Structure 1
């Protein structure tokens, strides 16, 4: 409602959004079903694979990866214990569902965010256009776009993927652009003078030098994708978020605590492994 002197733009905007969503659903329903199925297929496939892996075997694989990345026995043992603790909480299947959703979401962010960051680093005008868009994607509450996305794509994994992509893409794309802009131009010019082409210089010189910033963005993307687990459960995505949501719906604080604790353990696992595997400093030869 307004004070009587100003027009009520809220109702007009509400009606316009509703008509736009109805038009999209009515006019492109079959195509949207195909898009939803295409987005859901990799998550379902990864869920199936992860469901076949017993928790002890998964713990061994994680431990081997931690040892290969860090060569620290204490870190390796601690990382290997985390999947076992999740399994002992009785939410192993839900954890694997969340892990599948997070993995596919992060891969989508990489496929879209890396080219965007590279293009924005090369084209200042594109960077200026993308900056306010990134601001909007990071500041707008997820529930604002969850409702229309869920209506367009239906409930389940597909809208959860889109919501996670909107939420987690900006930091990765921005840090990729920032890392590439921070590369010493003299090194780039030297590479070009040695006969390297534009793309060769990008892949062999600029991206390796921008690696720390890019990996920092990737680590943030993983954590932000995990943060969407509970929100995604509200639009039908399976996983640990659903356990927390059931605890709220049933007024069962114990169930909610178990789900929340499992999310924390999964967050620690992903964060520490990402830092160990991806965050190792680039080694330069001594002069």
Structure 2
């Protein structure tokens, strides 16, 4: 059969046109992304690993529990013990920067989609395409645009991790009780005030679940980013595959798992702070409430009922 639709050829032509005509824009994107990732990596590595571990453990205790704080410290010390601290911080920097960029794009798109049916109808097939396209395919145009290094890996990571952030933000905004929104409108609140004061706070657990998924997908792209030349644990996995080095592959993969567990637990705790009674913030809040009640009980008997 001679009939064929050359979709791949058309896409290749578009990629070539972008490369030839938007080279300045691509160079600017590459500079910004490279500066952010390399700057964060240099910052993390300039601090002694004990300080980074202490800060991470404190964050875990602050938002979740002292048990997670101990687990975080043990996990990061294990990474140090496997001599993976530098590639672990390189991977952490890539994931954090990619997550921030993806969230800055996903949350506004999700809000817009929740408030506009036309945008929602247009975004849905695009998000379906982004989620189902094999992640390796994103590396081809990314490498053409940005060359070998951390930037194409980061761009592919952002594209792959973006959809759940958009979907869950939209779901959270649309899931806010309509009567609560109507009550705000009845009091004369403007759409922006309703969004900031009612919809976003009530939708925050769902939005945080979306951010959690963005982080997990970004970490799952660490190996693929390593194929594009991005330094970190993913690059070590790729090297282990190419040399059939089981020990190196297992250690690098374990490093990714330990980082993923820490980020997953912390972001999940941020999405449901009321459920984390063992967190440092929860303990401090209960102590403040106990002092307030004790103060109220002391002052109550001193109140004098004035005659009419």
Contact 2:223–2:235 (Cα < 8 Å) also in 1: yes
Say yes or no: does 1:121 pair with 2:114. Answer: yes
- 2:130 paired residue number: 137
Q: Superposition pairs for residues 189-228 of structure 1, below 5 Å?
A: 189-228=182-221
Name which of 45, 49, 54 aligns with 1:51.
45
Q: Please state how far the C-alpha of 1:144 moved relative to its aligned partner.
A: 1.7
Say yes or no: does 1:7 pair with 2:9. Answer: no
Q: Please state how far the C-alpha of 1:273 moved relative to its aligned partner.
A: 1.8
- 1:68 paired residue number: 62
The number of residue pairs the alignment matches comes to 276
Contact 1:212–1:281 (Cα < 8 Å) also in 2: no
Distance in structure 2 (CA, Å) of the matches to 1:65 and 1:163: 29
| Deviation digits for residues 6-61 of structure 1 (CA, Å, limit 9, x no counterpart) | 4133xx33433333333322333333222211222111111111111222111111
Distance in structure 2 (CA, Å) of the matches to 1:30 and 1:215: 35
- 1:40 paired residue number: 34
Distance in structure 2 (CA, Å) of the matches to 1:186 and 1:132: 30
Distance in structure 1 (CA, Å) of the matches to 2:96 and 2:80: 19
Distance in structure 1 (CA, Å) of the matches to 2:192 and 2:17: 43
Distance in structure 2 (CA, Å) of the matches to 1:17 and 1:172: 26
| Deviation digits for residues 211-264 of structure 1 (CA, Å, limit 9, x no counterpart) | 111111111111011000000011111110011111111221111111111111
Contact 1:58–1:83 (Cα < 8 Å) also in 2: no
Contact 2:75–2:258 (Cα < 8 Å) also in 1: yes
Partner SS state of residue 229, structure 2 = coil
Say yes or no: does 1:264 pair with 2:257. Answer: yes
Name which of 220, 223, 230 aligns with 2:223.
230
| Deviation digits for residues 166-222 of structure 1 (CA, Å, limit 9, x no counterpart) | 111111111110111111111111112223221111101111111111111111111
Name which of 60, 83, 89 aligns with 1:96.
89
Distance in structure 1 (CA, Å) of the matches to 2:79 and 2:272: 25
The runs of at least 4 consecutive aligned structure 1 residues that moved more than 6 Å come to none
> Structure 2, unaligned stretches of length 5 or more?
276-281, 283-308
Contact 2:148–2:228 (Cα < 8 Å) also in 1: yes
Partner SS state of residue 230, structure 2 = coil
Q: 1:88 to 1:234 in 2, by over 3 A?
A: same
Q: Please state how far the C-alpha of 1:158 moved relative to its aligned partner.
A: 1.7
Larger radius of gyration: 2
| Deviation digits for residues 138-175 of structure 1 (CA, Å, limit 9, x no counterpart) | 00001222101210122212212221111111111111
Q: Please state how far the C-alpha of 1:112 moved relative to its aligned partner.
A: 0.6
| TM-score with structure 1 setting the length | 0.91
Partner SS state of residue 210, structure 1 = helix
| TM-score with structure 2 setting the length | 0.85
Distance in structure 1 (CA, Å) of the matches to 2:246 and 2:199: 50
